[in-house]
Amino acid sequence: MQMVRSSTHNFLKALSNEKRLQILEWILTPRDHFPEQQDGDLVEDGVCIKFITDKIALSQPTVTSHMAVLAAAGLVTSKQIKNWVFYKPDRSAIQAAMKSLRDGLDV
Amino acid sequence: MQMVRSSTHNFLKALSNEKRLQILEWILTPRDHFPEQQDGDLVEDGVCIKFITDKIALSQPTVTSHMAVLAAAGLVTSKQIKNWVFYKPDRSAIQAAMKSLRDGLDV
DNA sequence: AGTCTCTATCGATGTTTAGCAATATAGAAG
DNA sequence: CTTCTATATTGCTAAACATCGATAGAGACT
């Protein structure tokens, strides 16, 4: 299948931005980087975009847009609770993308 | 060391471009993609930039610039023979970059 | 010496990306 | 029901990137 190339490309594009890579790393080990949340579990539900915005030196619209890119690449999923939105890494998608990349570079 | 992040970032930036990813994949298995060369062995010496330019739908300056990006990221090395320039993947650098990325995403 | 080929550099251009302020929307909380 | 908070959307700007044509330099080949 030739679909591998385009999904690998999306993965690389999404992570080629330093801020997005940083955010993804943070939410992969959320308890190391974020305070406990009232209305959603850091691991089960994901990290509230508000906390990400507070931690990274960027405006809220910019963070929203970065999260949309990560979601479009399938690397994170989002869930709304009340008026908060939580982002959680999709670990199996990340693994699959890593495998595609590795296979493409036949390392 | 915090150097890992920036080298991972360079790796991702370099490969986030579809043409560069394509080229790297081609030169990783050069015998599958390029004709035999007179003045340099496809595997030992690398692929002549001329053949890459002929194969990909891009101008010669654009290809030169893409190769420079790959070289700056440490993913390829170049060698001049007569007035040809050959590019060869640096497999151990590629493997190291993959490992850094995997570790960063703790997959 | 003159010409041809290959690669690099320069300069210009169009496109994409990252970023923000302002605004809209929807829910929470008084 | 008004106000506050969280997120999304819009519209804009500045910077980065991809690309090309033109040109330069270095080597090969008459």
Looking up tokens 């890992």, which residue turns up? B4
The answer to whether the Cβ–Cβ distance between A107 and B91 falls below 8 Å is yes
Measured between CB atoms, does B75 come within 8 Å of chain A? no
| Domain residue ranges of chain B, discontinuous segments joined by + | 3-104
Locate all alpha helices (DSSP H) within A29-90, ordered by sequence.
Answer: 30-33, 49-55, 60-72
What is the predicted pLDDT for the residue at B5? 74
CATH class (in words) of the domain with range B3-104: mainly alpha
d(CA B9, CA B3): 10
| pLDDT tens-digit readout, A76-104 | 999 999 999 999 999 999 999 999 999 99
| Contact assessment for residue A44 and residue A99, using Cβ atoms and an 8 Å cutoff | no
| Nucleotide closest in space to B51 (CA vs C1') | C6
Q: What is the mean pLDDT of residues A49-75?
A: 98
Q: Does residue A48 surpass a pLDDT of 90?
A: yes
- B9 beta carbon to strand C: under 7 Å: no
Q: Degrees (nearest 5) of the Cα angle B37, B40, B42?
A: 65
Contacts of B4 (CB under 8 A, 6+ apart): B100, B103, B104
* Residue among B8, B24, B106 minimizing CB distance to A28: B106
In 3D space, the residue among B100, B99, B97, B105 whose CA is nearest the CA of residue B76 turns out to be B97
Q: Does residue A35 surpass a pLDDT of 60?
A: yes
